[in-house]
Structure 1
Amino acid sequence: MMKNRVFAAMLAASAAIVATVPASAQVAGIATVNQMEVITRSKAFTTAETQLDTTYKPVRDQIQARQAKFQSDARPLLATVDTNKDGQVSEAEEQAAAARKDPNYTQLMTLQNQANEEIQKLQMPSILAELFAFEKILQLYDAAQIGVVNARKINVILQPEAIVYAPDAVDISDALVAELDKTPTVAITPPANWQPQQRTLQFQQQVNELKRRAYQMAAMRAQQQQQQGAAAAPGAAAPAARPAAGAKPAKPEPR
């Protein structure tokens, strides 16, 4: 899938490309590794992501449908709050509608709150499933790291950014991926009343940020390709003007 290829490309760009070297080439007991890059390269991670996409696709379709319904229901109400009819609801217009207790604005807020609550309920099982898989993968990573540390007699592991210069031998990413791949799958169904560790929540946030950046990059590339195609077409119209700086959508979609 395109999003996975872009995601993988961004991860590759965030870490140095290294050659596989024998354990005897380890430099003075010092090693470097990018934990995020290693985990997201592992079979357990990529398989879990595929399983989650497949298992929860119907729920994600429901969420998209609910978001679309909110947008449809909100459109006529937003038009009444947009008093200067410029197609945007400014902060001042929103505050004015709230201050005068505009019934349309009140109804809009009610619709948004209802949509948010429903979407959060729909999202929760898939969020917990992802967290459960991530926690299992992090546990595998811990065990893999201990195995590589003992095998290579490593005393110190540093983030790659902390090193000004080092030979390729200090990077143990490939060794850790190989160790992780000995367990190619993890469960994605948490037991009842299971709660994730704080470390797992932080890891999920990091993954989501990488995905967000990957989606932005993919969107920018698609837009550039469209613009290049339009410019190459004979008689193509001039590209549309960009929205004014600071312009904001009429109302954010519920998440």
Structure 2
Amino acid sequence: MTNHIKTIALGLALAATPLVATQASAQGLGVASANLEGALGNSAALKAAQTQIQTQYKAQIDAFTARRTAISTELEPMAREIQTLQANPATPPATLQAKVTAYRTREASAQRELAPLAAPFQRPLSYAEEQVATKLDQALRAAMVAKRIGIIVNPQAVVAIQPAADLTADVTTQLNALVKTVSTTPPAGWQPGQTAQGAGAAPAPAAAPATPARRPQGR
């Protein structure tokens, strides 16, 4: 989850208070859920960028995947041994702890080994994601206005919901209208998080007005 999505999600949590719910109900506005990560991942601009990165960095991606698979193969029997020891009441705690420590040490070493292999393609991917994510708050608000939604809740907090009350696809549609294409070439010195910071922190979404504004062009 990008920092921009975390900021918006925090805003949604703060906005979903009893007072805001009462205001939304009084204005005849509804409640819906939205998977922000899903909306971002389904955006046309990001999908196009991912395809471009997969082609441009194929050799690096293949090398990373091969090494990750080899490490997983190495770690798998260690994990199985730990599970077997855990299931045996007679296993000395010191023995189990030694195996767990060895596994975690190798796992951490593997992560350090894989990080530089992933960096060549992970950096442009993060840059592409952040360019779309900076428009996520605007897209969410536009989708809320279009559907007369006053409150958005996290899908993980929902027990059951009708498909019409899921705004994820609507947010993606708004993102597609706002962001046609993104660059996969980060500027010199760019670091993850800088794109979102440049766009400013997203304010907490409030209840939509009683009279919906016009939908953005391109909807």
TM-score normalised over the length of structure 2: 0.48
Larger Rg: 1
* Structure having greater relative contact order (Cα 8 Å, sep ≥ 6): 2
Give TM-score scaled by structure 1 length.
0.42
